[in-house]
Amino acid sequence: MDVRPNIAGDYQVKFKAEALPLKHRLGGYRMLYSHNIQFPLSGVRQVDRRSMATVLEVLPALRALETPASGRIELVNNAAIEEILMDIGRLDFGKGVQAKPNVSLWRTRGDLQQLVGEFAFQIKFQKRRQLHPKALMRCEHFFVHLQRVAKDWVALGTTKNGHRLSPLRAVRRSRTSEDLRGVEADPRDAQSCRGSGSR
C-alpha cells in the first residue's frame, strides 16, 4: 500500500516489525507489524485539519476505508497528550551495534495527569544485513531478561498506545510496550532495531 501523504513538505515512510511481550506470560515475545507515515503538522496547509475531507485529501490511502468526507476526527478520550523524553546513556550489543536508550513519560496537557512511562532503546542501520545475528541474539536476550527483572512493572497484553485508547486513569503498574526489532523503511532504506518497556 502506498501511504505517502499529499503534502508539499518532507515526510518519512515507516515499516516496523516490533517485538512485544507475550499477552499472557513473561519470557517471550510476539511480533506486531505496522506501515505508517510521519510528517509535521505544519505540512498540512488546509484550514480545518480535523475534517475528514482534509484527512482523506492529505492521506489518500485512507480512502479505501470509504469513510464519509463529512465526518471529523477528535482527540482520543478528549485529551491532548504530551510526551517528556530523556536520553540515558548507551547500550552496546557488540559487533558495532549500539543503542541509545531513553525514558519517557506520557501525561495529559493541562492537569498533567501521568498516564504511562516507558523505557526504550532503538538501533538504527541502513540495511538489514548490517544487524549481525549475534547482536540481534543479544537484543532478544536482553528483551526477555528485562521482562523478568522488571516483572512487577510489566502489564501484559497492552501497549502504550492501547492504554491511550482506554479510559484515562492513573497507572500504578507498568504498561509495557517492548518493541525490540523495529524495521523502519524511509526513502533512504533506513531501518532500526528498537526495544522499549512502558510503565
Whether residue 70 lies inside any domain: the answer is no
Whether residue 153 lies inside any domain: the answer is yes
Tell me the pLDDT of the chain (199 aa) as tens digits.
Answer: 888 888 888 888 887 777 778 888 888 888 888 888 888 888 888 888 888 998 899 999 888 888 888 888 887 777 778 888 899 989 999 888 888 888 888 888 877 777 777 777 777 777 778 788 899 899 889 989 988 898 888 777 766 666 554 544 433 333 333 333 333 333 333 344 455 454 4
Q: What is the pLDDT of residues 91-117, one digit of tens each?
A: 999 888 888 888 888 888 877 777 777
Whether residue 62 lies inside any domain: the answer is no
Whether residue 18 lies inside any domain: the answer is yes
Range of the domain at 121: 12-38+77-198
> What is the structure's pLDDT at 19?
74
Instruction: Give the distance from CA 168 to its chain's centroid.
Output: 19
Q: How many domains is the chain built from?
A: 1
> What is the structure's pLDDT at 188?
34
CA-CA distance, 180 to 131, in Å (whole number)?
13
- C-alpha distances in Å from residue 95, one per residue of 55, 130, 136, 139, 145: 43, 9, 10, 12, 20
> What is the structure's pLDDT at 87?
92
**Per-residue DSSP letters for 39-59?**
--GGG---S-TTBHHHHHHH-
Q: Are 176 and 185 in contact (CB under 8 A)?
A: no
> What is the structure's pLDDT at 130?
78
Backbone angles phi, psi at 122, to 5 degrees: -145, 135
pTM of the model: 0.63
> What is the structure's pLDDT at 187?
32
> What is the structure's pLDDT at 80?
78
- C-alpha distances in Å from residue 177, one per residue of 49, 90, 148: 29, 20, 14
> What is the structure's pLDDT at 163?
56
Whether residue 52 lies inside any domain: the answer is no
Whether residue 46 lies inside any domain: the answer is no
Whether residue 144 lies inside any domain: the answer is yes
Here the cell at position 119 is 523505557
Whether residue 145 lies inside any domain: the answer is yes
